[in-house]
Amino acid sequence: MKLDSKIYVAGHSGMVGSAIVRRLHQLGYKNIVTKTSKELNLIRQDEVEKFFEEERPEFVFLAAAKVGGIYANDTFPAEFIYNNLMIEANVIHNAYKYKVKKLLFLGSSCIYPKMAAQPIKEEYLLTGPLESTNEAYAMAKLSGIALCKFYRKQFGCNFISVMPTNLYGINDNFDLKTSHVLPALIRKFHEAKINGDQQVVIWGTGKPKREFLFVDDLADACVHLMKNYNNEMHVNVGTGKDLEIGKLANIIKDVVGYDGDIINDLTKPDGTPRKLLDVSLLKSTGWTSSTNLKEGIEKVYHWYVSQYHK
């Protein structure tokens, strides 16, 4: 990938896509193509074909997806499977048809079996049943991995798949119903502090463990893999460290400066007990994450506060 290569970042207004665009700009890439969902609806096969025919990108980062936290995944499974399958099929097929040199597809650590041995190695894929709260999303993302694999096998396309762990960062979704845990807790603690509330409610037991990667680190890993990795096997991207949701809540409480109590809502699901990724394959390519969790949360909290009144 050269500095003047034509690069299409699908999903550039989302948290992941915007971080990839930011990283590409920092590195001096000058020919980045983006389209809003109004300009290009990736669910529409005809629109996607027209776009590829006209633009002919050389490299594609496929970061467009319908994403959400445990409640959104569990409540809107049809939308999660349909939207994601359509986006992947349209973009990957047209990347093949219009001779894209390389495509990087973004999946998620929820594609692994619910009770996978920890840390989770890439080869544990499809060795057991999925977590029910995100089965629809996981099935779509598994299909994305399969699309990359089979277009490589049949047509020799250099399409690679990257499986990030739970992400957080600037431009995250802070809507309490549809967001992931980390932005939800930033908002809950911030609003409780402002309103002088005595308690903040967190969902579930607080016992599940999650691994959190700062999205700018993911973006850096994606550019690194685009430049240096060319194999069929999907690659885990994470920090190699996880913590209990209860501990995460306490870190966010400290960063926000809230001094009330934390209450658990046991009517809400815990989801997967643990999904720590084995990152040996990624390390063997020469990449490790650099942002520690507290530092990343501080950055996101400062950004959130700067946006709060807008």
Catalytic residue among 29, 71, 96, 137: 137
Active-site residue 137, yes or no?
A: yes
271 touching ligand GFB, by CB under 6 A: yes
Beta bridge partners of 10: 62
Q: Which of 95, 184, 218, 279 binds ligand GFB (CB under 6 A)?
A: 184
Could you tell me which residues come within 8 angstroms of residue 290 by beta carbon, excluding any fewer than 6 positions away? 217, 220
Q: Among 24, 157, 163, 202, which residue interacts with ligand GFB (rule: CB under 6 A)?
A: 202
Minimal distance, residue 246 CB to ligand GFB, in Å: 9
Task: Return the range that interacts with ligand GFB (CB under 6 A); candidates 21-29, 82-90, 152-160, 264-272.
Answer: 264-272
Judged by CB under 6 A, the chain residues 73 through 102 that form the site for ligand GFB are: 73
Half-sphere exposure of 225 toward its Cβ, with a 13 Å CA cutoff? 32
245 contacts ligand GFB (rule: CB under 6 A): yes
3-state helix, strand and coil shares in percent for the chain, rounded to the nearest 5: 45, 15, 40
Site for ligand GFB in 139-168 (CB under 6 A): 166
Task: State yes or no: residue 208 binds ligand GFB (CB under 6 A).
Answer: yes
Nearer to ligand GFB among residue 12 and residue 209 (C-beta): 209
**Which 3-62 positions form the footprint of ligand GFB (CB under 6 A)?**
none
Number of residues that bind ligand GFB (CB under 6 A): 26
Q: Is the dihedral of CA 256, 261, 265, 270 positive or negative?
A: positive
The only residue of 84, 90, 94, 133 in contact with ligand GFB, by rule CB under 6 A: 133
Return contacts of 31-34, CB within 8 angstroms, 24+ apart.
31/4, 31/5, 31/6, 31/7, 32/7, 32/8, 33/6, 33/7, 33/8, 33/9, 33/57, 34/8, 34/9
Q: Which residues of 24-42 are buried (b: 16+ CB within 10 A; e: fewer)?
A: beeeebeebbbbeeeebbb
179 binds ligand GFB (CB under 6 A): yes
**Binder of ligand GFB out of 24, 104, 181, 226 (CB under 6 A):** 181
- Tokens for 106? 């973004």
Residue 25 has phi, psi (to 5 degrees) of: -60, -45
Look up tokens 């957080």; give the residue: 168
Decide whether 86 or 184 has the Cβ nearer to ligand GFB: 184
Kindly tell me which residue out of 51, 112, 137, 287 binds ligand GFB, with binding defined by CB under 6 A: 137
Question: Applying CB under 6 A, does 215 fall inside the site for ligand GFB?
Answer: no
Nearest to 238 by CA among 180, 294, 167, 297: 167
Write out the catalytic residue numbers. Answer: 137
